[in-house]
């Protein structure tokens, strides 16, 4: 197997005149072709920053990534645009991710107009095909995003990401804004599409259950670093890192979760010295409390 996406020692530092935040601090991993790599972590752990750096939606401070063996960080505009067509991204808030003034069909046609030579009838045919593929009816084509449910909008987001027949999709919290019954529909759709088109996924989620269910490999992020990487069935079932164990214990439905009344003692025990101790503190609080 070969790597569809290689993330090589990416560092992303955000600076302001007063302070700097190392959002991602030297993260490396590979997404094998045809597999799903799931990245879990709490808010602020750097998982979305990694996703954006990996596709070069933002420039990493150092390090970089390769897509299907081709390093992307030195690429100039034209070459980068060509490579972008082989990737797609699905965002968390499906309604906000769509232009409210474009019909569903126009939204789906947009990436095709940017990246392909399809026009007129061929363009229409391909947009229709994409609608079918994500399980939307022809009657949805003329509607506007606000006339659709969240689940339907996310299907549109997936259709847009698939438009240029990419090999790699980055899914950034694709179902966190959806109800469980709709989440199940969307996850099933993503699984089917991956098999049909031999796609590779980089899945970002704070939901351990979703990541374990969807992923072949999984990585756990904390404070900008990967604390644990390996097969999802091992990392998220029999973790070796204390932080992963703690995340699992906090999930209500997950096997391995700890009932609420017994959980307190576990959470109060300090994390090993290698990990920063203040889980619950934002930088502002650290300032206030210090």
Partner 1 sequence: MTTTELLRINDLEVAFEERGELTNRPVRGITLSVASREVVGIVGETGCGKSLTGLAVLGLLPKGAVPRGRIVLDGVEQPFDGRGSARGDAISIVFQNPGTAFNPVFTLGRQMRDVIERHRRVDGRPLRRAAAKAHILQYLEQVGLPDPERMYRSYPHELSGGMLQRAMIAMALVCEPKLLILDEPTTALDVTIAKQILELILSLRDRFGFGVLLITHNLGVVREVCDRIAVLYAGRVVETGPTGAVLRAPAHPYTRGLLGALPARHRPGQPLDAIPGAVPGNLLHLTGCSFRDRCPMAVDACAEIDPALEPVSPLHAAACIRVDSVEGSLS
- Contacts with partner 1 by CB under 8 A lie at 42-43, 149-151, 179-185, 187-188, 191, 206-210, 212-215, 232-233, 246-247, 250-255, 259-261, 263-264, 267, 279-282, 284-285, 288-289
Q: Which is nearer to partner 1, 161 or 258 (CB)?
A: 258
Closest distance of CB 245 from partner 1, Å: 11
Q: What gap in Å lies between CA 11 and CA 53, rounded to an integer?
A: 9
What minimum distance in Å lies between the beta carbon of 25 and partner 1?
19
Question: 71 or 231, CB closer to partner 1?
Answer: 231
Say which DSSP state 280 is in. T
CB of 34 or CB of 150, closer to partner 1 = 150
Nearer to partner 1, 100 or 283 (CB): 283
CA 158/CA 77 separation, integer angstroms: 25
CA dist 55 and 87 (Å) reads: 8
User: How many Å is the Cα radius of gyration of the chain?
Assistant: 20
Q: How far apart are CA 151 and CA 63, in angstroms?
A: 36
CB 76, min distance to partner 1, A: 40
CA distance 116 to 261: 57
Listed residue (102, 86, 174, 179) closest to 134, CA to CA: 174
3-class DSSP state of 285:
helix
Q: How far is the CB of 84 from partner 1 (least distance, A)?
A: 30
Q: Token pair for residue 59?
A: 């420039």
Smallest distance from partner 1 to CB 122, Å: 32
Q: How far is the CB of 112 from partner 1 (least distance, A)?
A: 28
Q: How far is the CB of 240 from partner 1 (least distance, A)?
A: 18
Select 13 or 213, whichever has its Cβ closest to partner 1: 213
Task: Please identify, using beta-carbon distances, which residue of 36 and 65 lies nearer to partner 1.
Answer: 36
CB burial string 90-129: b at 16+ within 10 A, e below: bbbebbebbeeeebbbbbbbbbbeebeebeeeebeebbee
Q: Tokens representing 218?
A: 């999984």
Closer CB to partner 1, 22 or 263, in the complex: 263
């Amino acid at each position: 197997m070969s790597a569809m996406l290689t993330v090589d020692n990416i560092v992303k530092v955000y600076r302001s005149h007063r302070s700097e935040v190392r959002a991602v601090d030297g993260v490396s991993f590979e997404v094998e072709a045809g597999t799903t790599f799931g990245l879990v972590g709490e808010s602020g752990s750097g998982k979305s920053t990694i996703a954006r750096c990996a596709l070069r939606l933002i420039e990493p401070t150092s390090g970089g990534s390769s897509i299907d063996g081709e390093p992307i960080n030195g690429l100039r505009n034209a070459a980068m645009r060509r490579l972008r067509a082989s990737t797609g991204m699905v965002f968390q808030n499906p309604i906000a991710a769509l232009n409210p003034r474009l019909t569903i069909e126009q939204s789906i046609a947009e990436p095709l107009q940017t990246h392909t030579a399809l026009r007129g009838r061929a363009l229409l045919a391909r947009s229709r095909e994409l609608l079918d593929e994500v399980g939307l009816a022809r009657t949805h084509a003329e509607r506007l995003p606000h006339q659709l449910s969240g689940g339907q909008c996310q299907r549109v987001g997936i259709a847009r990401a698939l438009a240029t027949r990419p090999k790699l999709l980055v899914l950034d919290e694709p179902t966190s804004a959806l109800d469980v019954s709709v989440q199940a529909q969307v996850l099933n759709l993503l699984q089917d599409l991956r098999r049909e088109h031999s796609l590779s996924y980089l899945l970002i989620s704070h939901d351990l259950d979703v990541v374990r269910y969807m992923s072949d490999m999984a990585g756990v992020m904390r404070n900008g670093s990967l604390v644990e990487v390996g097969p999802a069935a091992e990392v998220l079932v029999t973790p070796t890192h204390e932080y992963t164990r703690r995340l699992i214990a906090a999930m209500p439905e997950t096997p391995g979760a700890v009932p609420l009344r017994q959980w307190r003692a576990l959470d109060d025990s300090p994390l090993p010295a290698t990990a920063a101790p203040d889980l619950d503190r934002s930088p502002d609080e650290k300032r206030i409390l210090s």
